[in-house]
Amino acid sequence: MEIKTTVTVIGGGANGLFTTLDLALREIDVILVERGDIGSGTSGKFHGLLHSGARYAVNDPESAMECIQENKIISTIAPHAVKDTGGLFLGITKEDLEFSDPFMKSLEKVGIDHKVLDLKEVMQKEPYVNRNAKIAIWVPDKVVLGYDLLASVSITASLHKAKIMTYNEVVEFVKENNSIRGVKVIDRINNETNFIKSDIVINAAGPWAFKIVKMAGIEEIPILPTAGIMVVFDKRLNNSVLNRLRPPSDGDIIVPYSDSSILGTTATIVEDIDNFTISEEDINMLIDEGSYLIPYLKNLKPVRAYASVRPLMKTSESGREASRDFTIIDHEKDGVSGLISIIGGKFTTARLVGERVSDLVSNKLGNKSHSKTSKTRLISPLDIDLLSYAEKIGLPKVLIMNALGRKGSLDEERYNTSLYLLLSLISRAKKHEI
Ligand SMILES: Cc1cc2nc3c(=O)[nH]c(=O)nc-3n(C[C@H](O)[C@H](O)[C@H](O)COP(=O)(O)OP(=O)(O)OC[C@H]3O[C@@H](n4cnc5c(N)ncnc54)[C@H](O)[C@@H]3O)c2cc1C
């Protein structure tokens, strides 16, 4: 099958989805291709923190400024996917206390609200927090329900005529001399080959971005694939996001995510991004560090651990020191036109990435449109009339009826998950136009 569009986006993570939404809202024809399901890369395996930017205020102020701006925007456009828990930076050791002065000065400079809290009140609200904490500083950290946000971006984009094709893996570029003219994809469900012809291709493949540029004959991009591990406890131990008052390090954040607490994380540069392990040693090290924040962690057995890879910009040889900011590369500079790569960023700043990439694309296309994503309320899967939506996209109604049947049942909590799985079938639907 051959399909024509204006822009092809590779990768259904946070960056690719927000780019697709931004372009669709500008009425630019766009198709997103993802080799797995939406959020099957790093965006489905992150820590769940909608950063206030406080963590980066001292060492990475540019990224901190982007985080606080986006923290406010995401909370406004997708309130259903955000839990306003607040965050605490806890100073426990002498070194932590020495960090409080530069920390608060940097928060001031970047423009992040903060407040030193009364420790007695903190201990009442957070009974598991280390009683030896000497200072607690509140910042506007929040929790973001990752899959809810990604599903909402996908639905809103497809309602604005974007096509989202999951289980379609890019295996080659369509090239004319030194110009990229589209991609060859394999539909992994039907084992069919499709060609998507377009004027511009966006490489939003996250940590796999370097593999994509290689297909275009570009040897290197400045990316530092850095793995991080998270450990999950089957108990909500804290109400606010807890952070250690020190420069970013291992095991210094605990995120309250639904009924669980997620402790993270590490930052190890990996050679093979599809093949790395989580060792018992890593888990124990994280628990040792995390128990400075919540000593009770040592009495608990984690229920699971997971890991993923950050597609960091290579601004340093160390994963901890590399900036959390992002960069957009127009490969015309490498002698290949029609290809743009996104490197870096955070889940929190993906909307901004989409805006900046779409500005560049619009400029190249001679389109004078502006980004609308900061003011467009995202549609939650729970907000739409699923039956008529199914009909519009050619999805069998019986599938939606089955999912809806779980509402009000013993397994209502699983209802959302089944809905999301169902929505991933959108790409398998006969019609894409709505
Ligand atoms: C351990 C850890 C914890 C983190 N915690 C946070 C946090 O709490 N808050 C925060 O804001 N950020 C956090 N981040 C950062 C954030 O998760 C990432 O910056 C973000 O998810 C990256 O999104 P992305 O779209 O660039 O990449 P991805 O989500 O990885 O998306 C890339 C997609 O491309 C697809 N793909 C690859 N190759 C192909 C191909 N050939 N054809 C088609 N598709 C392809 C992949 O399947 C994947 O789905 C964390 C990162 C890590 C590693």
Predicted local distance difference test score (pLDDT) of residue 320: 83
Query: In this predicted model, what pLDDT tens digit does every residue of 383-419 receive, in sequence order?
Result: 778 777 777 766 777 877 777 777 777 766 666 666 6
- Residue closest to 165 by CA, chosen among 358, 335, 11, 371: 11
Asked whether the predicted pLDDT for residue 109 surpasses 70, the reply is: yes
Q: Mean pLDDT in the chain?
A: 92
Cα atoms in the 13 Å half-sphere on the side-chain side of 434? 20
Residues 6 or more apart whose Cβ sits within 8 Å of residue 3: 31, 163, 194, 195, 196, 197
CA 14 / ligand 1 centre spacing (Å): 7
Percent of the chain exceeding pLDDT 90 equals 77
- In order of 11, 196, 211, 336, the CA distances from 217 in angstroms are 19, 19, 10, 9
Confidence of residue 425 (pLDDT cuts 50, 70, 90): low
Query: What values do phi and psi take at 212, rounded to 5?
Result: -65, -45
DSSP assignment letter at 117 = P
Confidence of residue 25 (pLDDT cuts 50, 70, 90): very high
Predicted local distance difference test score (pLDDT) of residue 386: 75
CA 346 / ligand 1 centre spacing (Å): 8
Least confident of 146-155, 178-187, 196-205, 290-299: 146-155
Tokens read off for 252: 């210094």
Distance, CA of 134 to CA of 97 (rounded, Å): 8
Mean pLDDT of 132-146: 97
Asked whether the predicted pLDDT for residue 426 surpasses 70, the reply is: no
Confidence of residue 432 (pLDDT cuts 50, 70, 90): very low
| 3.40.47.10, 3.30.9.10, 3.40.50.150, 3.40.50.300: CATH of 85-141+224-313 | 3.30.9.10
Asked whether the bond before 6 is cis by omega within 30 degrees of 0, the reply is no
Predicted local distance difference test score (pLDDT) of residue 70: 98
**Which protein residue's CA is at the shortest distance from atom 41 of ligand 1?**
170
Q: Where does 2-42+147-222+324-384 sit in CATH, by number?
A: 3.50.50.60
Cα atoms in the 13 Å half-sphere on the side-chain side of 108? 6
Is any ligand 1 atom within 6 A of the Cβ of residue 146?
Answer: no
Instruction: Indicate which atom in ligand 1 lies nearest the CA of residue 347.
Output: 11
The string of DSSP codes covering 28-92 is: --EEEE-SSSTT-SGGGSS--EE--SGGGTTT-HHHHHHHHHHHHHHHHH-GGGEE---EEEEE-
Instruction: Indicate which atom in ligand 1 lies nearest the CA of residue 345.
Output: 19
Q: Where are the domains of the chain?
A: 2-42+147-222+324-384, 85-141+224-313, 385-434
CA 331 / ligand 1 centre spacing (Å): 21
